[in-house]
Amino acid sequence: MTRQIPAQRQPLRYDAYGRPLRNRKKNGALRFLLGFLLPYLVINGILLFLVITKPTIRAEEPDTTDYQHAAIRFEIDSLLPMRSVKATLEGDPIELTKKGSVYSAELEANGNLTISVESLNRMTDVEHISINILDETAPSIEESSAVIGAGYVEFQVSDSQSGVNFDSIYATDSDGSHLKPTDIQRTSGKITFSMKGDSLNVYVQDLAGNQQTVNFSVS
């Protein structure tokens, strides 16, 4: 019978307190990994992320309640504080109000709105928004389809944005007298005035305050 000789074990070494000593090479490599290399990679990874991270603008759709003023609101997603937050409308600076993390402004004209932000690491983001919800166009008075009869005039009015302010409609005759319509059909926009003279100036506003003026005269 052949006897197997057990592999020779490396003798253990002990410290002054009788505790076995570990392999210094393995212990040193572990200390290097945990004490230097890993923190180095983590710290430099964080620094690199902070250097290249960009702010992001999240803007809501512009809104209006009177077609004369447009409200805009936007937020900025960023891990770093902002160096600057600016807004311009057709190149003119817009005053911004900040409440918490939300910026807002009120506009009184249509145009191209540009929002630009710069974070502490000088990374930037730019958002372009077209503002076209404000009513800057006067209502339409259809002269071509107007009917001038014996002592009256009929015509159509319309406004595609804020709508016609039917209560604002009036006219002046050749004597300078102010006249109100004798009939208003709000659904169709048909307006009727009495016309005793040979001329009538008609004034119509929309709900945003834009006014249209037309002269009807007997040829």
3-state secondary structure of 151: coil
CA distance 206 to 165: 5
Q: What is the pLDDT of residues 34-57, one digit of tens each?
A: 566 566 666 666 666 666 688 999
Mean pLDDT, residues 88-111: 95
Residue 2 has pLDDT above 80, yes or no: no
Q: What is the pLDDT of residue 100?
A: 85
Residue 3 has pLDDT above 80, yes or no: no
CA distance 145 to 74: 46
Q: What is the pLDDT of residues 186-203, one digit of tens each?
A: 999 999 999 988 899 999
Residue 92 has pLDDT above 60, yes or no: yes
The CATH number of 140-217 is 2.60.40
Q: What is the pLDDT of residue 179?
A: 96
Mean pLDDT, residues 198-219: 94
Q: What is the pLDDT of residue 29?
A: 65
The answer as to CATH 2.60.40.760 being correct for domain 56-131 is: yes
In angstroms, the Cα distances linking 121 to 74, 161, 174 are: 21, 44, 70
Using CA atoms in the order 22, 28, 34, 40, what is the torsion angle rounded to 10 degrees? Answer: 180
Mean pLDDT, residues 130-139: 96
* Mean pLDDT estimate for the chain: 86
CA distance 16 to 82: 60
Sequence-separated (6 or more) residues with CB below 8 Å from residue 112? 89, 90, 128, 129, 130, 131
Alpha-helix residue ranges (DSSP H) falling in the chain:
24-32, 38-52
Hey, what are 171's tokens?
């006219």
For CATH 2.60.40.760, list the domain ranges present in the chain.
56-131
- Cα torsion angle, 188, 193, 194, 196, sign: negative
Are 203 and 156 in contact by the 8 Å Cβ rule? The answer is: no
Q: What is the pLDDT of residue 185?
A: 97
